[in-house]
Amino acid sequence: HRRVVLVRRPPGEPAESDFRVEEAPVPEPRHGEVLVKVHYLSLDPYQRGRMRDAASYAAAVGLGEVMTGGTVGEVVASQHPDFKVGDIVEDRLGWQEYAIGGGPALRKVDPSLAPISTANGVLGMPGMTAYFGLLHVGQPKPGETVVVSAASGAVGQVVGQIAKIMGCRTVGIAGGAKKCAFVKDELGFDACIDYKAEKDLDAALRAACPNGPDVYFDNVGGEITDAVLRNINFFGRVALCGSISQYNATGASMGPRLLGTFVGKRVMARGFIVTDFAQHYGPAMRQMGEWIRSGQLKYREDIVEGIDKAPRAFIGLLRGENFGKMLVKLA
Protein backbone atom coordinates (compact mmCIF):
# COMPACT_ATOMS: atom_id res chain seq x y z
CA HIS A 1 0.00 0.00 0.00
CA ARG A 2 1.03 3.62 -0.38
CA ARG A 3 1.64 6.31 2.19
CA VAL A 4 2.90 9.89 2.24
CA VAL A 5 5.82 10.84 4.49
CA LEU A 6 7.28 14.23 5.35
CA VAL A 7 10.87 14.55 4.08
CA ARG A 8 11.64 18.24 4.57
CA ARG A 9 10.45 21.11 6.75
CA PRO A 10 9.71 24.07 4.47
CA PRO A 11 10.36 27.49 6.02
CA GLY A 12 7.59 29.14 3.96
CA GLU A 13 5.07 27.72 1.50
CA PRO A 14 5.32 23.91 1.24
CA ALA A 15 6.28 22.25 -2.06
CA GLU A 16 5.41 18.77 -3.31
CA SER A 17 9.09 17.83 -2.85
CA ASP A 18 8.64 18.25 0.94
CA PHE A 19 6.65 15.00 0.79
CA ARG A 20 7.38 11.54 -0.59
CA VAL A 21 4.85 8.92 -1.69
CA GLU A 22 6.24 5.49 -0.80
CA GLU A 23 5.24 1.82 -0.76
CA ALA A 24 5.02 -0.05 2.53
CA PRO A 25 3.80 -3.51 3.62
CA VAL A 26 0.22 -3.67 4.93
CA PRO A 27 0.55 -4.03 8.72
CA GLU A 28 -1.20 -6.73 10.80
CA PRO A 29 -3.35 -5.85 13.81
CA ARG A 30 -2.31 -7.17 17.21
CA HIS A 31 -4.50 -7.66 20.29
CA GLY A 32 -6.69 -4.58 20.84
CA GLU A 33 -6.08 -3.25 17.33
CA VAL A 34 -7.89 -3.05 14.00
CA LEU A 35 -6.61 -2.81 10.44
CA VAL A 36 -8.37 0.02 8.61
CA LYS A 37 -8.65 0.46 4.85
CA VAL A 38 -8.79 4.23 4.57
CA HIS A 39 -11.51 5.68 2.33
CA TYR A 40 -10.99 9.41 2.97
CA LEU A 41 -8.10 11.51 4.21
CA SER A 42 -8.93 14.86 5.74
CA LEU A 43 -6.72 17.77 4.66
CA ASP A 44 -6.75 20.51 7.29
CA PRO A 45 -4.83 23.75 7.80
CA TYR A 46 -3.44 22.63 11.20
CA GLN A 47 -1.30 20.06 9.35
CA ARG A 48 0.95 22.96 8.28
CA GLY A 49 1.79 23.45 11.96
CA ARG A 50 2.71 19.76 12.32
CA MET A 51 5.37 20.21 9.61
CA ARG A 52 7.18 22.66 11.88
CA ASP A 53 9.51 21.54 14.63
CA ALA A 54 8.38 24.27 17.02
CA ALA A 55 6.66 24.32 20.40
CA SER A 56 2.95 23.72 19.85
CA TYR A 57 -0.13 22.25 21.46
CA ALA A 58 0.63 19.04 19.51
CA ALA A 59 3.80 17.20 18.50
CA ALA A 60 5.45 17.70 15.11
CA VAL A 61 5.56 14.98 12.44
CA GLY A 62 9.10 13.55 12.34
CA LEU A 63 11.07 13.56 9.10
CA GLY A 64 10.45 10.25 7.34
CA GLU A 65 7.20 9.75 9.28
CA VAL A 66 3.70 9.47 7.79
CA MET A 67 1.92 12.85 7.60
CA THR A 68 -0.65 13.15 10.36
CA GLY A 69 -4.31 13.61 9.57
CA GLY A 70 -7.89 12.57 10.19
CA THR A 71 -9.23 9.54 8.31
CA VAL A 72 -12.46 7.68 7.68
CA GLY A 73 -12.25 4.05 6.67
CA GLU A 74 -13.45 0.49 7.00
CA VAL A 75 -12.25 -2.18 9.41
CA VAL A 76 -10.82 -5.04 7.31
CA ALA A 77 -9.30 -7.09 10.16
CA SER A 78 -9.98 -6.85 13.88
CA GLN A 79 -8.38 -8.01 17.11
CA HIS A 80 -10.39 -5.42 19.03
CA PRO A 81 -13.40 -6.57 21.09
CA ASP A 82 -15.54 -3.52 20.17
CA PHE A 83 -14.91 -3.37 16.41
CA LYS A 84 -15.71 -5.91 13.72
CA VAL A 85 -14.85 -6.30 10.06
CA GLY A 86 -17.03 -3.94 8.01
CA ASP A 87 -17.36 -1.26 10.69
CA ILE A 88 -16.83 2.29 9.44
CA VAL A 89 -14.46 4.19 11.73
CA GLU A 90 -13.00 7.64 12.15
CA ASP A 91 -9.52 8.12 13.59
CA ARG A 92 -6.38 10.14 13.03
CA LEU A 93 -4.42 7.53 11.07
CA GLY A 94 -2.50 9.82 8.71
CA TRP A 95 -1.88 9.90 4.99
CA GLN A 96 -1.82 6.19 4.19
CA GLU A 97 -4.03 3.65 2.44
CA TYR A 98 -4.03 1.09 5.29
CA ALA A 99 -3.33 1.77 8.94
CA ILE A 100 -3.55 0.23 12.39
CA GLY A 101 -6.11 1.80 14.74
CA GLY A 102 -7.07 1.06 18.31
CA GLY A 103 -6.10 4.17 20.26
CA PRO A 104 -8.51 6.38 22.20
CA ALA A 105 -9.48 8.41 19.09
CA LEU A 106 -10.95 5.40 17.24
CA ARG A 107 -14.72 5.83 16.94
CA LYS A 108 -17.51 4.14 15.02
CA VAL A 109 -19.32 6.09 12.33
CA ASP A 110 -22.97 5.31 11.57
CA PRO A 111 -23.13 5.19 7.75
CA SER A 112 -26.93 5.43 7.80
CA LEU A 113 -26.83 9.01 9.16
CA ALA A 114 -24.93 10.72 6.35
CA PRO A 115 -22.23 9.95 3.76
CA ILE A 116 -19.19 8.69 5.67
CA SER A 117 -16.98 11.51 4.38
CA THR A 118 -18.88 13.86 6.71
CA ALA A 119 -17.13 12.22 9.68
CA ASN A 120 -14.10 14.28 8.59
CA GLY A 121 -16.18 17.39 7.98
CA VAL A 122 -19.52 18.71 9.10
CA LEU A 123 -20.07 15.73 11.45
CA GLY A 124 -16.43 15.62 12.55
CA MET A 125 -13.63 17.87 13.70
CA PRO A 126 -14.38 20.96 11.56
CA GLY A 127 -18.10 20.79 12.39
CA MET A 128 -17.36 20.55 16.11
CA THR A 129 -14.95 23.49 15.79
CA ALA A 130 -17.71 25.61 14.28
CA TYR A 131 -20.31 24.52 16.82
CA PHE A 132 -18.31 25.07 19.99
CA GLY A 133 -16.28 28.02 18.75
CA LEU A 134 -19.41 29.91 17.78
CA LEU A 135 -21.82 28.89 20.55
CA HIS A 136 -19.48 28.59 23.55
CA VAL A 137 -16.79 31.13 22.71
CA GLY A 138 -18.67 33.59 20.50
CA GLN A 139 -21.95 33.35 22.46
CA PRO A 140 -24.20 34.91 19.79
CA LYS A 141 -27.62 36.22 20.77
CA PRO A 142 -30.62 36.49 18.44
CA GLY A 143 -30.51 39.72 16.46
CA GLU A 144 -26.76 40.17 16.81
CA THR A 145 -24.39 40.29 13.85
CA VAL A 146 -21.87 37.46 13.38
CA VAL A 147 -18.92 37.84 11.00
CA VAL A 148 -16.92 34.79 9.93
CA SER A 149 -13.79 34.67 7.75
CA ALA A 150 -12.88 31.80 5.37
CA ALA A 151 -16.67 31.62 5.15
CA SER A 152 -16.97 29.00 2.40
CA GLY A 153 -14.52 26.61 4.06
CA ALA A 154 -15.06 23.55 6.20
CA VAL A 155 -15.43 25.46 9.46
CA GLY A 156 -16.71 28.80 8.14
CA GLN A 157 -19.67 27.41 6.21
CA VAL A 158 -20.94 25.69 9.35
CA VAL A 159 -20.36 28.73 11.58
CA GLY A 160 -22.50 30.94 9.37
CA GLN A 161 -25.35 28.48 9.08
CA ILE A 162 -25.48 27.92 12.86
CA ALA A 163 -25.44 31.70 13.32
CA LYS A 164 -28.48 31.91 11.03
CA ILE A 165 -30.22 29.15 13.00
CA MET A 166 -29.51 31.22 16.15
CA GLY A 167 -31.32 34.18 14.58
CA CYS A 168 -28.27 36.34 13.86
CA ARG A 169 -27.42 38.56 10.94
CA THR A 170 -24.62 36.61 9.32
CA VAL A 171 -21.82 38.06 7.23
CA GLY A 172 -19.13 35.98 5.57
CA ILE A 173 -15.74 37.02 4.23
CA ALA A 174 -14.35 34.86 1.42
CA GLY A 175 -12.02 35.03 -1.56
CA GLY A 176 -13.73 35.36 -4.93
CA ALA A 177 -17.17 35.85 -6.43
CA LYS A 178 -17.98 32.13 -6.68
CA LYS A 179 -17.34 31.46 -3.01
CA CYS A 180 -19.35 34.54 -2.01
CA ALA A 181 -22.28 33.57 -4.23
CA PHE A 182 -22.31 30.08 -2.70
CA VAL A 183 -22.24 31.46 0.83
CA LYS A 184 -25.15 33.82 0.18
CA ASP A 185 -27.33 31.94 -2.29
CA GLU A 186 -26.85 28.33 -1.17
CA LEU A 187 -26.09 28.70 2.52
CA GLY A 188 -28.31 31.71 3.22
CA PHE A 189 -25.81 34.14 4.76
CA ASP A 190 -27.15 37.71 4.70
CA ALA A 191 -24.03 39.08 3.03
CA CYS A 192 -20.57 38.05 1.94
CA ILE A 193 -17.55 40.28 1.39
CA ASP A 194 -15.12 39.26 -1.36
CA TYR A 195 -11.87 40.39 0.25
CA LYS A 196 -9.93 39.83 -2.96
CA ALA A 197 -12.11 42.25 -4.94
CA GLU A 198 -12.89 44.77 -2.20
CA LYS A 199 -10.50 47.72 -2.05
CA ASP A 200 -11.78 49.08 1.27
CA LEU A 201 -12.61 46.31 3.74
CA ASP A 202 -13.67 48.74 6.47
CA ALA A 203 -16.26 50.33 4.19
CA ALA A 204 -17.45 46.90 3.03
CA LEU A 205 -17.85 45.78 6.64
CA ARG A 206 -19.79 48.91 7.56
CA ALA A 207 -22.11 48.31 4.62
CA ALA A 208 -22.59 44.61 5.37
CA CYS A 209 -23.00 45.15 9.12
CA PRO A 210 -25.25 48.21 9.60
CA ASN A 211 -25.30 47.57 13.37
CA GLY A 212 -21.63 46.53 13.56
CA PRO A 213 -20.22 43.05 14.26
CA ASP A 214 -21.00 41.64 17.70
CA VAL A 215 -19.23 38.32 17.20
CA TYR A 216 -16.19 37.67 15.01
CA PHE A 217 -15.23 34.06 14.28
CA ASP A 218 -11.64 34.40 13.11
CA ASN A 219 -10.26 31.74 10.77
CA VAL A 220 -7.65 33.82 8.98
CA GLY A 221 -5.86 36.52 11.03
CA GLY A 222 -3.86 39.21 9.21
CA GLU A 223 -5.40 42.22 7.51
CA ILE A 224 -8.93 40.80 7.32
CA THR A 225 -8.98 40.37 11.07
CA ASP A 226 -7.49 43.84 11.61
CA ALA A 227 -10.39 45.29 9.63
CA VAL A 228 -13.07 43.41 11.58
CA LEU A 229 -11.49 44.38 14.91
CA ARG A 230 -11.45 48.05 13.93
CA ASN A 231 -15.21 47.81 13.45
CA ILE A 232 -16.26 45.50 16.26
CA ASN A 233 -19.02 46.57 18.64
CA PHE A 234 -18.88 47.34 22.33
CA PHE A 235 -18.95 44.08 24.30
CA GLY A 236 -18.05 42.18 21.13
CA ARG A 237 -16.71 38.62 21.31
CA VAL A 238 -13.92 37.22 19.17
CA ALA A 239 -13.55 33.45 18.78
CA LEU A 240 -9.92 32.95 17.77
CA CYS A 241 -10.05 29.74 15.74
CA GLY A 242 -7.12 30.02 13.36
CA SER A 243 -4.86 32.37 11.38
CA ILE A 244 -4.43 30.66 8.04
CA SER A 245 -3.12 33.84 6.38
CA GLN A 246 -0.01 33.46 8.57
CA TYR A 247 0.62 29.69 8.36
CA ASN A 248 3.24 29.90 5.60
CA ALA A 249 4.74 33.14 6.92
CA THR A 250 8.40 33.08 7.87
CA GLY A 251 8.03 35.93 10.38
CA ALA A 252 5.24 37.88 12.08
CA SER A 253 4.01 40.85 10.03
CA MET A 254 3.57 44.17 11.81
CA GLY A 255 -0.11 44.96 12.01
CA PRO A 256 -1.88 47.94 13.53
CA ARG A 257 -2.00 47.88 17.30
CA LEU A 258 -5.65 47.06 17.95
CA LEU A 259 -5.76 45.77 21.48
CA GLY A 260 -6.44 49.28 22.78
CA THR A 261 -9.88 49.12 21.18
CA PHE A 262 -10.54 45.96 23.20
CA VAL A 263 -10.15 48.01 26.38
CA GLY A 264 -12.48 50.84 25.46
CA LYS A 265 -15.00 48.56 23.85
CA ARG A 266 -14.79 45.79 26.52
CA VAL A 267 -14.19 43.19 23.82
CA MET A 268 -13.55 39.60 24.85
CA ALA A 269 -11.25 37.48 22.64
CA ARG A 270 -10.60 33.85 23.38
CA GLY A 271 -8.56 31.25 21.57
CA PHE A 272 -9.77 27.65 21.64
CA ILE A 273 -8.88 24.20 20.35
CA VAL A 274 -11.80 22.02 19.37
CA THR A 275 -10.67 19.13 21.59
CA ASP A 276 -11.24 21.36 24.64
CA PHE A 277 -14.90 20.41 24.12
CA ALA A 278 -14.40 16.68 23.44
CA GLN A 279 -16.63 15.60 26.35
CA HIS A 280 -19.55 17.43 24.77
CA TYR A 281 -19.25 16.12 21.19
CA GLY A 282 -22.09 13.57 21.53
CA PRO A 283 -25.04 15.96 21.95
CA ALA A 284 -23.48 18.44 19.50
CA MET A 285 -23.19 15.76 16.80
CA ARG A 286 -26.82 14.74 17.37
CA GLN A 287 -27.92 18.36 17.02
CA MET A 288 -25.86 18.85 13.86
CA GLY A 289 -27.28 15.60 12.44
CA GLU A 290 -30.82 16.89 13.06
CA TRP A 291 -30.05 20.18 11.32
CA ILE A 292 -28.65 18.30 8.32
CA ARG A 293 -31.75 16.07 8.11
CA SER A 294 -34.09 19.07 8.40
CA GLY A 295 -32.22 20.86 5.60
CA GLN A 296 -31.09 23.74 7.84
CA LEU A 297 -27.43 22.76 7.63
CA LYS A 298 -25.83 22.14 4.23
CA TYR A 299 -22.25 21.23 3.49
CA ARG A 300 -19.93 21.38 0.55
CA GLU A 301 -16.96 19.07 0.06
CA ASP A 302 -14.01 19.40 -2.32
CA ILE A 303 -12.74 15.91 -3.13
CA VAL A 304 -9.63 14.84 -5.06
CA GLU A 305 -8.89 11.17 -5.77
CA GLY A 306 -5.72 9.21 -5.04
CA ILE A 307 -3.22 9.44 -2.20
CA ASP A 308 -0.53 10.83 -4.52
CA LYS A 309 -2.74 13.93 -4.94
CA ALA A 310 -2.66 14.74 -1.20
CA PRO A 311 0.48 16.97 -1.16
CA ARG A 312 -0.70 19.11 -4.09
CA ALA A 313 -4.20 19.44 -2.66
CA PHE A 314 -2.79 20.41 0.74
CA ILE A 315 -0.62 23.13 -0.79
CA GLY A 316 -3.74 24.36 -2.62
CA LEU A 317 -5.76 24.43 0.63
CA LEU A 318 -3.27 26.89 2.12
CA ARG A 319 -3.65 29.06 -1.01
CA GLY A 320 -7.44 29.04 -0.92
CA GLU A 321 -7.79 26.79 -3.98
CA ASN A 322 -10.19 24.47 -2.15
CA PHE A 323 -13.93 25.17 -2.27
CA GLY A 324 -15.44 23.48 0.78
CA LYS A 325 -14.11 20.76 3.07
CA MET A 326 -10.93 19.37 1.46
CA LEU A 327 -10.81 15.56 1.28
CA VAL A 328 -8.77 12.94 -0.55
CA LYS A 329 -10.73 9.87 -1.63
CA LEU A 330 -8.64 6.71 -1.78
CA ALA A 331 -9.21 3.87 -4.22
Residues within the interface to ligand NDP (CB under 6 A): 44-46, 126, 129, 150, 152-156, 174-176, 179, 219-220, 222, 224, 241-242, 244-245, 272-274, 317, 320, 322, 325-326
Task: Decide: 98 and 26 in contact? Cβ < 8 Å.
Answer: yes
Smallest distance from ligand NDP to CB 243, Å: 6
Least distance (Å) between residue 150 CB and ligand NDP:
4
- Listed residue (105, 39, 70, 92) closest to 281, CA to CA: 105
Q: CB nearer to ligand NDP: give 182 or 291.
A: 182
Three-class secondary structure of residue 225 per DSSP: helix
Please give the single-letter amino acid code of residue 251: G
Altogether, the residues listed in the chain come to a count of: 331
Which is closer to ligand NDP, CB of 1 or CB of 107?
A: 107
Task: Kindly state the smallest distance separating residue 204's Cβ from ligand NDP, in Å.
Answer: 14
Q: Shortest distance, CB of residue 30 to ligand NDP, whole angstroms?
A: 32
Q: Which of 194, 195, 196, 142 is nearest to 170 (CA)?
A: 142
How many CB atoms sit inside 10 A of residue 210's CB? Answer: 8
Q: How far is the CB of 219 from ligand NDP (least distance, A)?
A: 4
What residue number has its CB nearest to ligand NDP?
153
Give, in degrees to the nearest 5, the angle at Cα 127 between 125 and 129. Answer: 70
Strand partners, 38: 73
Shortest distance in whole angstroms from residue 29 CB to ligand NDP: 29
Rounded distance, CA 252 to CA 25, Å? Answer: 42
Nearer to ligand NDP by Cβ, of 191 and 241: the residue is 241
Distance CA 160, CA 145 (A): 11
> Which of 27/49 has CB closer to ligand NDP?
49
What is the closest distance, in whole angstroms, from the C-beta atom of residue 23 to ligand NDP in the complex? 29
Helix (H, G, I), strand (E, B) or coil at 72: strand
Q: For residue 87, give the amino acid letter.
A: D
Strand pairing report for 191-194 and 169-174: parallel
- 91 Rama sector, left if φ>0, alpha if ψ -120 to 50, beta otherwise: beta
For ligand NDP, the closer of residues 140 and 320 by Cβ is: 320
Exposed, middle or buried by CB within 10 Å (0-12, 13-18, 19+), for 131?
A: buried
**Of residues 26 and 249, the one with the C-beta less far from ligand NDP:** 249
CA gap 168, 172 in Å, rounded: 12
Q: Which is nearer to ligand NDP, 37 or 309 (CB)?
A: 309
If the CB atoms of residues 152 and 170 are measured against ligand NDP, the closer one turns out to be 152
Least gap, CB of 314 to ligand NDP (angstroms):
11
